[in-house]
Every structure is written in structure tokens, then in C-alpha cells.
Amino acid sequence: MKKAYLLLLALFLFSCSQPNRSSKEEAEIEGRIRKLISQMTLEEKLGQMSQFDPGQFRGDQDLKQAIKDGKVGSILNLVGAKRINELQKVAVEESRLGIPIIIGRDVIHGFRTIMPIPLGMAAAWNPELTEKAMAVAAKEAASEGVHWTFAPMIDISRDPRWGRIAESCGEDTYLASRLAVAMVKGFQGDDPSNVDRIAACAKHFVGYGAAEGGRDYNTAYIPETQLRNDYLPPFKAAKEAGVLTFMSGFNDLNGVPVSGNEFTLKTILRNEWGFNGMVVSDWASIYEMIAHGYAADPKEAAEKALRAGVDMEMTSNCYVSGVQQLLDEGKLNMQTIDRYVANILRVKFQLGLFEHPYTDETRAEKTILCPEHLEVAKEAASESFVLLQNNHQILPLSSNMKSVAVIGPLADAPHDQMGTWVFDGKKENTVTPLVALRQKLGEQRVNFAKGLAVSRTRTTEGFAEAIQAARKSDVALLFLGEESILSGEAHCLANLDLQGAQNDLLDAVAATGKPVVAVIMAGRPLTIGHVLEKADAVLYAWAPGTMGGPALAEMLLGETVPSGKTPVTFLKTVGEVPLYYNHKNTGRPADYSNWTYLDDIPVEAGQVSLGNTSHYLDAGFEPLFPFGFGLSYTSFAYSDLRLSTGSMPVDGSIDFSVTIENTGKYKGSEVVQLYIRDRVGSITRPVKELKGFKKISLEPGEKQQVTIRLNANDLAFFNGTNYVVEPGWFDVWVGPHSNEGLHAEFSIR
């Protein structure tokens, strides 16, 4: 075993001071916070610690009276500058202390201009574009009075059955961490008090993406080594980026619900990371600790959440009903309550709500759905598309074709195109592929037949029209996938095949003999082996948002070129779950030289170990598509991998340089990916880990040398006791995806 070298604890302890604030300004804010708290009654303190949905009140007057009495610190699910200003006026001008309320909203992947779902944006592998997209979302939401979004969701998600994988950045810790920083910066900017910015919220802290069986709200069992190495880093990256708030989740983590988990919320978030922002519970997740069997009643639920460090309770009333008795019983002290109130007030000061509580009611009209925002949405959609198959280079479509058939339940589904978890987007603002293709080609060159009413339709009554449309066209474009309601929170699936009669529709169209291009719109990676067999080309479009139609039309016609890469492993069958690229090796790793397939087994064979490797007899050991995979209309060649040094100290770095050449005939973008493997560790290490990437654009015939720097501390991991960088030998691959690349080796001394 290697000798472990401890990293300095300082690498893992960062302050959360806000950019652009001097020490004097921060001291002044802390002084104002202390003064306010000294004037507050317990009821007013608990008001600050409570977030409510307007529907929890009997009417408008009831809500306004509660605000006036200081019983409401935050409201969610409210939108509209005029309405919010009315309520803010009550808080600021009519309540005893004039503390503004903070308005929270699920602005997950856009406000009115809807971007691709987060999993789709992750497929773009473009943090700069992601930041730009979230800045658009923040600007539009802020123009309607929203101060705070419950995003980004940065749960590591390795089970596509889980509906909320759509909201995630996928399976990889490094990619999710890079995108977490981008989203926080997009929402908050350099100065969260700017009128165009809103507070971000890192959720769900922590382990929600590992819900057992892919069932929402379920239990997660994650050893501490895996928790710290895989699930916590994106949250730490968000904290270091200055995220103002965290959200505790619904799930039970190793026997303790995370909304009452002192280890994650107090030991790690507060003590180790030094986070001094606000923690809000998820919807009624404090009260739900009773159903978990972790608290006997609301009072005990409040006690455990407060001990763990949840500052604000979302929608339930455990704090309001239980805190006075907890104080009387000596189970809680006022200093704890004051500290949590201070965390909440600090965020309100950082957002500038005390100085500028009201929203200019004329801003929304000039901001929402403006041309610049729509262009960002189209760019984000275009870069999210992943070309999975392109037999005979059928794409891009020939300019000489006379007509195209546009077929399928997702070809003209403006609501479903927006994807899951959209509260403010409107389908009338969505441009579908059918509309965009008609605009590009003209009505006469587009033969449209829906084929199926929706993705779940099981009848074949629309097939005849679809077949007729295909027969009279040069190529059939099939828009398949899943409706938006089939992914997202509480929408988990045990079967990941195309729903309804979609595969039958594909078979019927393919039987015409016309070339078939399948465009899949979905909130998760589906099992699409049958689609690959029947379609000449497959383009995975996720749920592409408001401008998905124009982005798809441009790509199908060759005006843009695919550059997306899978942010999650695609499975052959749901029975392979969990299957992800950065798994452990096992003592008997599978490869093609020593595995047995189901049909190879003789009848009445003796009971033997059949190859002695870790694989499935019926599915093998490799995925349908690996993590990081994506084709282009052009091609790229990798050559001349060079290392600046073959060995570095534990505080050193290595530059990896590789030459990329565009060997095709289209200008295109490539995501150059760097993976490493730590060959021997004090605990077993993954077979590969993404540690760097760069997205570059090349003209046909152009070459570019790409350099990615790897610091020794990028190789740190938690070994069960400490974070360590261990000396030894490492493999490195630089290539187009996780299963392919130029190989070299280096050491840490």
C-alpha cells in the first residue's frame, strides 16, 4: 500500500464572503443583522425561518396580515412584479421591523425562454454556454419579482429510471462540478444584488440521486468514501463559487434523513466547508421525517432539523409549532435560533433587498423572450444534441431532396418540447420542429403525419397516414421520445423503452424502404436499441426547450453540426442499472477475451463459472453508448500525445498536449476529454475518471494543439480517514469519449 500524503485542510475550508463587498461593508451588514435580531420577538424570528406557498393561506388578506405580523420570511410559487411588490410593500412599510420577504421560484432551466433540460445542457459540455443560459433565466425571473431559484440540482445521477435525472448534470462528478460553478455564476453573477441576478440554491444536499431502485423520495445508502469522492464534490464546487443557499433533500441517507442529518449539514457543510449562507428544507421534508420514522412528532422533527442546521422550513410548520416548547424544555437555546435568523437575513442583505425591495414593473416586457434570449436558447439546444448514429452519412439532409416526411408525436408538441419542471414557459412561445422545417423548406416540401396522438398512444389508427407521408417523401424524420410529464419529480419508470406504439410506428415507416432519421426527445437516456436497428440516423435531442425546433431544423439541414456528448451512460437494457463508466474494476474484470454470451452455452452444460468475469450473459459488459460519446458530421483525428513531464511531486502539475485535426469536410466542434486511472490506492479506485476537457472548433483540414493541465491535487480522494494524494503510477487517456483515447502513463512521487 502506498504511503498517504495528507492534503492541507485549508484546501477544503473556504469562506463564503461575497464578491464586491469590502470588509467594512460586511461588518456593517453584520451589525445591522445583530441589531434587527435584538429587536425581534420569537414569533418574528420564526417568521423569518418559515417559507410558505400562497395556497396555505385562506386568502389575500390572510396572507397580507401574516406578512404584516412578521410571520412570513419567504414565499414560493408566486410570480409577477406587480403582485410581489404589493406583498413586499406590506413587509417593508407595514410590518414592525420592515424586513423584506424573499421570493423563491423553481427556475430550473429557464423562466419564459426555456433552455434544454439540465441533462441536455450537460450534453453540450460547455460551461460558458451554461452560464450564459442561466444568466438569461435569472434576468427574466428577476424582471417578474423573483429573488431566488431552487437550482442548480447537482445530484450525481446514475440511474435513468429516476425521473429527476432530467434535472441533473448526469453521472460524472467532474462534469457536474464544472457545470455547478457555471450555473451558480449564471444565476448570481459577480454581484447577486444586481437587478438582473437571483440567488442560486445547491440541491439536494445530499445523495438524492442515489435513491434506491430509481424511485423518487427513496432511501440512499452511500459509504462515506463514495459520498465524499463522488456525491459531495459538485456541492463543494458550488459553495466555492459563492452559492448563497443550499437545500436539504427528501431522502434518507444511511439511516438519517438529510433534513435532519448533522453529519452532512453541520460537520461537512458548516464546519469543514465554512458555509455561512442559508439552508432551506425541501418541501415539507422536515415534517416528512415523521414518516421516515426518525421523529415521533412535529416538535421532534423541528428539534432534529434545527440541530442539523436547517435555517428555513419550506411549507410545513414544525418550527412554528414546536420551537417554543423546545426552548422551554431546554432542548434548544435562543443563540441557535438567532444564528439561523442571521443566516437568512444575511442572504437578504447580499441580494440588496433591504436597499431595493421593489421590482421595476416595466422591465419584464422589455426582457422576456427578447431576441438575444431566444438566440441563447437556440445555441444551447443546438449544442446539446448528440448524434448517436449516422449510417451512410444520411445527415445532413441533401439540399436536392424534393420533400421530407415529418412524423411522430413529438414533431409538433410545443408543451412537451419544453421538458420537465417548467412553471412559467408557455407552449405558444415554443417553436416546434414541424414549424421550423416548414419555415425552412416551405409548406409544400413537408409531409406531416403525427402517427400517434402522444408518446403513450397504443393504437395504430394513425399509421396509414404516416406510411403515406413517408412513401411520397425522400426521407422520413421521426420525432419520438417521451412527454415532459414522464420525467421529473415523482415520475420514475421501471421500463425505459419508448412508450406506447412508438417502436411499431418506427417499424411501419422503416418498412416503406425510405431512409429514416429518428430524433429522440426525452428527459432521460432511454433504451433505444430497436431504434438503432431500424433508423439510419439517430439524433438525441433531450427536451430542447423553446427554440428546439429551429435548432433541430438547422442541424438536420446541415447549417449547424452536432457537437454534443453523452453526459450519462446509455444502457442496452434497464436490467444493467447501475451502469456507469467510472466503476471499480473488480477482481475479475470483463473483456472480450474472457466472457461468455448466453447463446454460447451448450445445452446441459456442466455448472462452471463461464469465463470468470463480471458481466451479463445476455447483455455483455459494455453499454449501448459510453459516457462522453457523440458523433459529428465531420471527423477528428487525435495524435501526438505529449506530457510536459513524466513525473510530478504531490504539489506539482503536468500539461497533457494532443494534436486534433478536422479530417472531414464540415467545420465542427470537438470535446477533447482527459481521463486518468490511479492504478493502486489505499482504497480501490475507479477504472477511469474524467479530470479535464476542452471544447474546440476546427475548420476542415485545420489542426490545433490542445493542452489540458492536471494538478496533483486534482487526484486527491478520501480514503476513509483523510483526503490524500498518493504517490504511484497513473494511466491517462486523451480522446473523444470514455472508451477511446491516446494512452500514456505518469507518476506522482
Tell me the per-residue pLDDT of 492-508, one tens digit each, with 9 for 90 and over.
Answer: 999 999 999 999 999 99
pLDDT at 13 over 90: no
Sort strands 256-257 and 252-253 into parallel, antiparallel or unpaired. antiparallel
Answer whether residue 174 shows pLDDT above 50.
yes
pLDDT of residue 18 exceeding 70: no
Confidence of residue 304 (pLDDT cuts 50, 70, 90): very high
Residue 8 has pLDDT above 70, yes or no: no
Output the pLDDT for position 206: 98
How confident is the prediction for the chain on average, in pLDDT? 95
Q: What is the pLDDT of residue 3?
A: 39
Q: Which band of pLDDT confidence, cut at 50, 70 and 90, is reported for residue 591?
A: confident
Q: Kind and range of the H or E element at 386?
A: strand 386-390
Question: How are beta strands 313-314 and 636-643 bridged, if at all?
Answer: unpaired
Residues 696-724: tens digit of each pLDDT: 999 999 999 999 999 999 999 999 999 99
Q: In the chain, what percentage of residues exceed pLDDT 70? A: 97
Please tell me the predicted confidence (pLDDT) of residue 694.
98
Question: What does the pLDDT read at residue 610?
Answer: 61
Phi, psi at 339, each rounded to 5°: -65, -40
pLDDT for residue 456 is more than 80:
yes
d(CA 351, CA 339) in angstroms, rounded, equals 19
- pLDDT of residue 7 exceeding 60, the answer is no
Q: Are 225 and 724 in contact (CB under 8 A)?
A: no
Give the model's confidence band at 602: pLDDT under 50 very low, under 70 low, under 90 confident, else very high: confident
How many Å apart are CA 692 and CA 174, to the nearest integer? 8
For 99-120, how does the pLDDT look when each residue is reduced to its tens digit (9 = 90+)? Answer: 999 999 999 999 999 999 999 9
In the chain, count H helices and then E strands: 22, 27
Least confident of 374-383, 388-397, 602-611: 602-611
Q: Which residues contact 200 (CB under 8 A, 6 or more apart)?
A: 149, 151, 152, 183, 184, 187, 188, 238, 243, 244, 245
Q: Go through the domains of the chain in sequence order and give each one's CATH number.
A: 104-363 (3.20.20.300), 636-748 (2.60.40.10)
- Flag the least confident range among 259-268, 466-475, 594-603, 705-714: 594-603
d(CA 226, CA 230): 5
Q: How far apart are CA 611 and CA 518, in angstroms?
A: 37
Q: Select which of 282, 416, 424, 678 is catalytic.
A: 282
- pLDDT confidence of residue 606: 84
Q: What is the DSSP letter of 622?
A: S
- Residue 749, pLDDT above cutoff 50: yes
DSSP-based three-state secondary structure for 594: coil
What is the bridge-based pairing of β-strands 740-748 and 728-737?
A: antiparallel
| Local confidence band at 594 (pLDDT 50, 70, 90 cut-offs) | confident
Q: Are 538 and 366 in contact (CB under 8 A)?
A: no
Compute, in degrees rounded to 10, the torsion defined by CA atoms 16, 76, 171, 583.
80
Average pLDDT of 318-332? 98
Band (pLDDT 50/70/90 cuts) for residue 276 is: very high
Edge-to-edge strand list for the sheet holding 723-725? 5-6, 723-725, 717-718
> HSE of 375 in the Cβ direction (CA atoms, 13 Å)?
3
Q: Work out the pLDDT band at 20, boundaries 50, 70, 90.
A: low
User: Which residues, 6+ apart, have CB-to-CB distance to 604 below 8 Å?
Assistant: none
pLDDT one-digit tens code per residue, 188-242? 999 999 999 999 999 999 999 999 999 999 999 999 999 999 999 999 999 999 9
Alpha-carbon span 65 to 71, nearest angstrom: 9
Maximal C-alpha separation, the chain: 84
Q: Which helix (H) or strand (E) holds 585?
A: none
Residue of higher predicted confidence among 114 and 592: 114
Cα distances (angstroms) measured from residue 354 to each of 32, 92, 196: 11, 8, 16
What pLDDT does residue 4 have? 40
CA 619 → CA 497, 623, 624, 722, distances in Å? 16, 9, 10, 38
User: What percentage of the chain carries pLDDT values higher than 90?
Assistant: 93
Active site annotation includes 282? yes
pLDDT bin (cut points 50, 70, 90) of residue 593 is: confident
